[in-house]
Amino acid sequence: MDLRPEFCRRIEFKISRSSRLFRDPQDDIVRAKQKPTGVKVLFAALIAALALAGCVSNNHPRLLSPNTVESFCGGAENYARETAIESIVASTDAMPEDFPIPSQAQIVHNVKAQNGVIAHWTDQPLYLPKVAKAYGYPDDYVRLGDAAITNRMISVDARRIYLTLILPDGTRKTLPFRAFDVQNVCSEAKLSA
């Protein structure tokens, strides 16, 4: 139902009717054959990007660098890459893997044997809504305490990492996760002359 005043509808009808009377039908064929110009396509892409940007929320807490890192990268010339640690932790799957959890001593032994790192945070929020709900967190964020990362891949596109969560009651729980960032967590130092 059109809720505009009657006189607006009448004027629009008269304008559209008169424009049809004086329009050349050949113009319609020419318009149909024309392709959108680069400016029109660019303008449409810009509008779409702005519309999508309005849908994206960027108020998630940022994953900060670990407070401390235990590096088992094998030698004085190798070091742990903090940006790789952050990226690997951020690429974790939404739910923990159904995999037996080794003891803390066994995790440390595996990290040492496979050239990895153990990163420590005091209370780092990490967006894992399903896990947060399962363990009784008040929001969609778990609180990360530690992350044990090795360079051993479990498949072409994933590795297993162990995240130690600080539960709402203050206890700590270690869970195995699949992480999809497969970059090397250790790097060889480049010495400059």
Domain edges within the chain: 6-55, 68-188
Mean pLDDT of all residues in 78-94: 92
Mean per-residue pLDDT of the chain: 81
Comparing 28 with 116, the larger pLDDT belongs to 116
pTM confidence score: 0.67
Residue 122: the pLDDT is 93
Of the pLDDT bands very low, low, confident and very high (cuts 50, 70, 90), residue 12 is: low
Q: Is 71 exposed, middle or buried (0-12, 13-18, 19+ CB in 10 A)?
A: middle
Residues with Cβ within 8 Å of residue 61, at least 6 apart in sequence = 125, 127, 141
Highest mean pLDDT among 77-81, 154-158, 162-166, 183-187: 162-166
- Average pLDDT for residues 46-66, to the nearest whole number? 72
The answer on pLDDT for 20 being more than 60 is no
